[in-house]
Structure 1
Amino acid sequence: MKKVLALSLVLSGSLFAANNLFEITPQVGGTFHIDNDRYKDSADLSYGLKFASRVAPSVLVELGYDRADTAKGSEPRQSTDINRYYVNLVKEFEVWDKTDIYILGGFGYEDLRHNFQNMDDDFFGQYGVGLRHELAEYLHLKTEVRHLASFDGRSDVIAMVGFSIPFGTYTQPEPEPTPASAPALSHIHQFSVQFPFDSTNIAPEYNAEIADFAEYMKQNPNQTAIINGHTDSTGSAVYNQKLSERRATAVKEKIIEEGVAPERLESKGYGATQPVATNATSEGRKQNRRVEAEVYTK
């Protein structure tokens, strides 16, 4: 049975039916004094209240209060009430539909109304195991057994049953999106396309070159391109900007006609702002009326 239970916990450790953010659990049960000759060998009525907050899909932090009424000592006329205040970390494992097993561990402080036989208020540690069953959406049955070890040497077993009232909805924080890496520049293709003055017409003699570039793009689907248009300095800056944009768009559309997906291409114009030759000569101005392709690898 222990092997079956352990296997169930391992296989289902990442699952849990409840997704409440908070819960309040009133509970009642008994405190059993063990390995302790300062109490009578009997059970004391115990009751209490717990408040828990979910901090992970199957993990809660709970604050609790227990009271044991009239715990009797080993000598006549010795008795005391015990108040316990504690915090636990709870880990849940779903093992059946609407039912889970949980383990807990924590520490607290025990306040005795009357001290006797060298027993005094003291801190304690505890651990335990429990079971939760979802009776309804907002009502869960919880039973648990805890072993409490006081720092002064006393040892108790506490068995409780209660009804948990869940509320709120736990939502996991969305993971930070991984920023997409920027495409890396592969190379710059310099088209030999030369435009007539004040024109965006592409002469037929350049069709083969554009078709070759389109074929390269189709054979390298992980690459994109920005088609950049440029002009010489003749005319106004505003006009040259528009002209360079139209020239880049003309080449881009020609590439698309050859079968390259439009979303892989972008066009930009730079007017006369990036000359590669002097604008003082006709030959230099001819070189500046150009189109380039910046090719990027995703």
Structure 2
Amino acid sequence: MKLKNTLGLAIGSLIAATSFGALAQGQGAVEGELFYQKQYNDSVKHVEDGFNPGASIGYFLTDDVSINAKWDRNNYTRSNDGTGSQKLRGDNFGLNAQYHFNNAGDMFRPYVEGGVKYGTLTNVAADGHSGRDQSTYLTAGGGAKLYFAENFFVRAGVEADYKLDNGKWNYMPVVGVGVNFGGGNKPAPAPVEAPAPAPEPVAEAPAPEVVRVQLDVKFDFDKSVVKPNSLSDVRNLADFMKQYPQTTTVVEGHTDSVGPDAYNQKLSQRRANAVKEVLVKDGIAPNRVNSIGYGKTRPIADNKTEAGRAANRRVEAEVEATAK
């Protein structure tokens, strides 16, 4: 079937690109797209299926919801059924809302959509005359976007138009490529509290003994889950902070150099947050732990080797206290 073949090509193109890392923008972002759709035309009789090029511009009201203005150009040929093979031209103008799943910043974001559309079609024969068909449609659809670079994406989906004039449907598999810019979801580094000034030493008293615990947790590639073999190290840090309840710590997340800067920034923050969650579950008050991601800006090993990249995929923390 033509519909299955077109859908297979669209979905196959989408899956083939999933090896690239990306950052999808969120609230306040603007998306522009060029698309191409195969229209299976059932709402007007004796009209062949067509290929419609088009463009859209959208604005994200939230991280998940965007409003989009769309235009596409009808490109049909009337079937030869005794009325002649006439060229049919027209335009469609639509407004719809898209709801995106997953999170702003994820590479892969499925969506559903719905809206309204106004369309015209020239040289349509009806009731003994030939003229312009003007129609209003309700629209619905779904698909997925793949953000293969920080500001670029590809889309594949299926849309359906319900013609209010006669209660019939048109169906369109669609593929597109677009650009995304703006948005306010890029994370800012969390503030680091300045350490309290050390008390002035008393000349007569011996210098206090300083004790210190350091933490170094390694992560798998593109993961932010604390591995079981690292949990005991994190709990040792939690036990130390329980012994010295006046202490605080800064949990610092890092990545290797693979992938876009913005994507690695978010990944390093998720790693730092994951270690903080383990500390909180082990009884440490959240206000005693500050988590911050540095992305790939602070390597400790050569990112040109696998061993070096593994060493750079880490979370570090340190707690210092004065022994009693």
Pick the structure with greater CA Rg: 1
- Specify the TM-score bucket, using the shorter chain as the normaliser: 0.3 to 0.5
TM-score by length of 1: 0.47
TM-score by length of 2: 0.44
